[in-house]
């Protein structure tokens, strides 16, 4: 069994344009749901999974995020500053690779989170990881588990967990904003802005993109209107888990 990842990157550098006017003065990762910032929902999940170090990339209103995480001890926070140039999801990861190390690491989106029901989902993801056959392992959610998701599905899952694009097939699952990736995937990556989505296709073509359905409830917060829905979903999910 491989060791669970000890490092992570939380993608927190986005502009949050759809969240205006809230994000005119507040970076989206610091929007609060049920009294806790979106960023802290993710960082707390990483801490519970035993992650020792998390890189948080910043671009928009970066000083607020830097100040917010300054007191955290678990996980230990490293800031990757993209103030000069927004690098998109994969570009931000490539910039942070020296801090992430040579072993597989977690990736988390800062605007999605989940309520675990049963064993911790990041722990389950780590147990499902198999570096011999995977370059990326995605955490996936069913449409019925999701609050705030306005689109269709992302991937169809084969019996062995292998993924292919669902092209909107309702039988598919949603990428739930959490993954494990091996740094070898970025060996030939050039610095500069580019998307993680292209690496999903590269891994699909190589037969090395896999997925794990999560347990519990998944929440994404894209607009101000999504906030009360997210608050209600948290309350309902916590009530169910009691």
Whether 241 shows a pLDDT value over 90: the answer reads: no
What does the chain come to in residues? 242
Please give the Cα distance from 45 to 116 (Å, whole number).
9
**7-65 pLDDT, tens digit each:** 999 999 988 888 899 999 999 999 999 999 999 999 999 999 999 999 999 999 999 99
In this predicted model, what pLDDT tens digit does every residue of 188-209 receive, in sequence order?
Answer: 888 887 889 999 999 999 999 9
- 2, pLDDT greater than 70: no
Residues 6 or more apart in contact with residue 33 via CB below 8 angstroms: 41, 113, 219, 221, 227, 230, 231, 234
For residue 1, pLDDT beyond 50: no
Q: How far is CA 234 from CA 33, 78, 140, in A?
A: 8, 28, 18
> Average pLDDT, whole number, for the chain?
91
What is the CATH architecture of 7-241?
Answer: Alpha-Beta Complex (3.90)
- From the CB of residue 17, how many other CB atoms can be counted at a distance below 10 Å? 10
Highest mean pLDDT among 3-7, 85-89, 108-112, 145-149: 108-112
pLDDT above 90 covers what percent of the chain? 72
How far CA 217 is from CA of 169, 195, 234, in Å, comes to 21, 26, 8
Q: 88-104, pLDDT tens digit by residue?
A: 888 899 999 999 989 99
Average pLDDT over residues 134-139: 96
């Amino acid at each position: 069994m491989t060791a669970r990842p000890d490092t992570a990157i939380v993608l927190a550098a986005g502009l949050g344009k759809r969240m205006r006017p809230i994000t005119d003065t507040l970076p989206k990762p610091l929007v609060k749901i049920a009294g806790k910032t979106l960023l802290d929902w993710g960082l707390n999940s990483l801490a519970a999974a035993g992650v020792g170090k998390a890189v948080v990339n910043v671009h928009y209103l970066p000083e607020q995020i830097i100040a917010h995480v300054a007191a955290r001890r678990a996980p230990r926070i490293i800031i990757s500053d993209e103030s000069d140039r927004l690098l998109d999801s994969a570009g931000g990861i490539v910039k942070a690779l020296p801090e992430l190390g040579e072993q597989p690491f977690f990736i988390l989106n800062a605007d999605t989170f989940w309520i675990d029901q049963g064993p911790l989902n990041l722990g389950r993801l780590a147990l499902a990881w198999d570096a011999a056959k995977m370059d990326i392992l995605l955490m996936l959610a069913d449409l019925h588990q999701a609050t705030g998701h306005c689109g269709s599905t992302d991937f169809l899952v084969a019996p062995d967990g292998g993924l292919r694009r669902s092209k909107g097939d309702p039988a598919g699952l949603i990428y739930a904003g959490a993954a494990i990736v091996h740094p070898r995937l970025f060996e030939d990556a050039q610095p500069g802005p580019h998307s993680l989505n292209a690496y999903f296709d590269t891994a699909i073509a190589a037969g090395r993109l896999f997925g794990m359905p999560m347990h519990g409830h998944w929440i994404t917060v894209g607009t101000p209107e999504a906030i009360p829905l997210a608050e209600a979903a948290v309350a309902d999910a916590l009530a169910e888990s009691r």
